């Protein structure tokens, strides 16, 4: 019997979407809903189709295939989207995405800085000291921020491309550095990561993040959640911001790449826990009235394209990072269905 994955997120029931995709089987898919492959095992294909249907074409053209290819759901003869970019890395000129939020990074990986009246909260620090100096320090000076005002560094997970510049910034500016306890343990055992990056010096163990921790600076409060999956202690955040003075709430899911196994390993919490935490975080985001999102990998939130829009944006024009609360529900439901497709695929392979 076919397994149907029914997603209910924070009171917003998506059963209707499941029924629609079931009724459409055997028919030509509507443009924008169409998955890039139709030769997957039935239960896997079902959840892939559902993931595309929930997005209704909003983000599916570019983002969802990247997730599914990177997660091993959709077969490819080449590399994952992030691996494809590794040979053509480009620095994105720093820009202001919101009244108090700035991007410093590349088309591969990035760092976000939340500027407050009492200092800066920095999320992630790129690959190494050189990038921290050139892109974060140099970028801050370009947009009129003082890197000496960095008071907190939040590391979203323990891969070198996120904590690589932390020791340099910690030693020079003495901010508090926050990470999940298991992430501190993970970075204490340096090793090349899956993208070929060599071990880098880790920052000195400072603060352990607790689930639901509120980090307040200059009257602005960021809430941090432990969302293991991508790594054993991935951190995700809810970040209130303003855009031209109007309030918004951003979701920042700290580890977009799917774990390579169903269950926990020393470097990942596994797909099953990943899906549980994604579901929990979706409900948190709905309660917080999230209406936009950012990510620490530019391929996940479209930052290369959005950076151009923001640099040319005129007063009163839409902010590309904001898409509304209802779309947040659909994006998270789609992501949950994509993870379920990966789980079903891995389970089938394990049983063969």
Model pLDDT, residue 19: 24
Alpha carbon separation from 265 to 31, 54, 229, 273, 316 (Å, rounded): 39, 31, 10, 12, 48
Instruction: Tokens 């008071």: give the residue.
Output: 151
β-sheet with 235-243: strand ranges across: 213-217, 220-226, 235-243, 246-252, 292-294
> What architecture is domain 81-350?
4-Layer Sandwich (3.60)
Model pLDDT, residue 332: 93
89-147 pLDDT, tens digit per residue, is 999 999 999 999 999 999 999 999 999 999 999 999 999 999 999 999 999 999 999 99
Instruction: Tokens 């998955």: give the residue.
Output: 35
Q: Domain extents for the chain?
A: 81-350
- Local confidence pLDDT in tens for the 352 residues of the chain: 334 333 333 332 322 222 222 223 333 334 556 777 778 889 999 998 898 888 876 655 566 766 777 677 877 666 665 566 666 899 999 999 999 999 999 999 999 999 999 999 999 999 999 999 999 999 999 999 999 999 999 999 999 999 999 999 999 999 999 999 999 999 987 655 444 445 789 999 999 999 999 999 999 999 999 999 999 999 999 999 999 999 999 999 999 889 989 999 999 999 999 999 999 999 999 999 999 999 999 988 989 999 999 999 999 999 999 999 999 999 999 999 999 999 999 998 888 7
Beta bridge partners of 225: 236
- Per the CB < 8 A criterion, the answer to whether 323 and 332 are in contact is no
- Following DSSP, what letter does each residue of 39-92 receive, concatenated? -S-HHHHHHHHHHHHHHTTSSTTTHHHHHHHHTTSS--SS--HHHHHTTS--EE
């Amino acid at each position: 019997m076919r397994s149907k994955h029914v997603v209910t997120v924070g009171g917003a029931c998506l059963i209707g979407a499941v029924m629609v995709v079931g009724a459409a089987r055997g028919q030509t898919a509507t443009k924008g809903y169409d998955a890039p492959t139709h030769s997957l095992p039935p239960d896997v294909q079902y959840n892939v189709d559902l993931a595309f249907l929930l997005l209704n074409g909003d983000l599916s053209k570019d983002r969802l295939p990247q997730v599914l290819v990177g997660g091993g759901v959709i077969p490819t003869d080449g590399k994952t989207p992030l691996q494809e970019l590794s040979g053509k890395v480009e620095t994105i000129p720093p820009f202001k995405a919101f009244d108090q939020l700035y991007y410093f990074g590349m088309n591969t990986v990035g760092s976000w800085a939340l500027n407050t009246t009492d200092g800066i909260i920095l999320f992630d620090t790129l690959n190494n000291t050189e990038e921290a100096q050139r892109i974060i320090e140099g970028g801050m000076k370009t947009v009129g921020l003082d890197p000496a005002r960095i008071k907190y560094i939040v590391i979203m997970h323990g891969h070198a491309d996120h904590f690589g510049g932390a020791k340099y910034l910690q030693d020079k500016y003495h901010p508090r550095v926050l990470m999940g306890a298991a992430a501190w343990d993970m970075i204490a055992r340096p090793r090349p990561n899956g993208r070929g990056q060599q071990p880098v010096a880790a920052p000195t163990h400072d603060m352990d993040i607790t689930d639901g921790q509120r980090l307040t600076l200059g009257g602005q409060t960021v809430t941090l959640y432990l969302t293991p999956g991508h790594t054993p202690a991935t951190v995700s955040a809810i970040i209130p911001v303003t855009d031209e003075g109007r309030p918004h709430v951003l979701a920042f899911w700290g580890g977009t790449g799917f774990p390579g196994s169903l269950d926990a390993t020393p470097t990942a919490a596994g797909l099953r826990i990943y899906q549980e935490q994604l579901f929990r975080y979706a409900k948190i985001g709905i309660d917080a009235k999230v209406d936009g999102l950012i990510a620490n990998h530019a391929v996940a939130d479209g930052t290369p394209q959005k950076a151009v829009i923001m640099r040319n944006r005129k007063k009163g024009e839409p902010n590309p990072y904001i898409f509304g609360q209802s779309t947040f529900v659909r994006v998270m439901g789609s992501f949950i269905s994509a993870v379920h497709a990966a789980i079903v695929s891995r389970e089938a392979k394990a049983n063969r």
